Amino acid sequence: MPVKLIMFDLDGTLIDSSIDITNAINYAIEPYGVKPVTVEETINLVGEGITRLMEKILDRSQTKEIDKGILVDRFLDYYSAHLIDKTTVYSGVRETLERLKGYKKAVISNKREALSTRILNDLGLLKYLDLVVGSDTTPERKPSPVPLIYAMEKLGASPNETVIVGDSNFDVEAGKAAGIKTIAVTYGYRPLDLLKGADYLIDRMDELVDILRRRIQ
């Protein structure tokens, strides 16, 4: 059955937001004497939502007395005001989305829906998409299949007609649990050894077009 719906992860797949997220983390923790994080450290920490991100920061610093909720609020205050200061669209993404006009397309992110939508709009990508699903759109987030199933239901596609494209094991695990084909990008935030369960690997986003048209059965 031909593919009807393509679901994309956001951070590490369509965009590189690592610098802006790093700056927001460091703003959040600065008053509390927690060691600042580097961009490389941020890349290893992100992927499970903001609350989980702050938990990892506290675990990493072995600092338990700081209110996690305050850190989340400080992070959101800063990040909301600096969403795309340094965030970039990966090479080939815009052109590929343009070439995929015949498909339904959704973003499934563990970033909150409002933030994801704003970023996509500000970067000129929202116009290519039919749906944006964030960490707070459904009761569960990736690696749960729940947000993927929600998107399929909203856009009228069956698992046999759907693929997910992402850069992490969370995307692959969610796709497998939802019964859909999985495509992992090798240029994102996660090392290759975490992506080996994917049905396909691509080194550039523009390789997706050929996979969709020739290889997925």
Catalytic center residues: 9
Cα separation of 206 and 111, whole Å? Answer: 24
CA distances from 187 to 91, 105, 106 (A): 10, 21, 20
Which run of H or E residues covers position 171?
A: helix 169-178
Interatomic CA distance for residues 20 and 86, integer angstroms = 6
Q: Which of 207, 155, 157 is nearest to 179 (CA)?
A: 157
Interatomic CA distance for residues 48 and 59, integer angstroms: 15
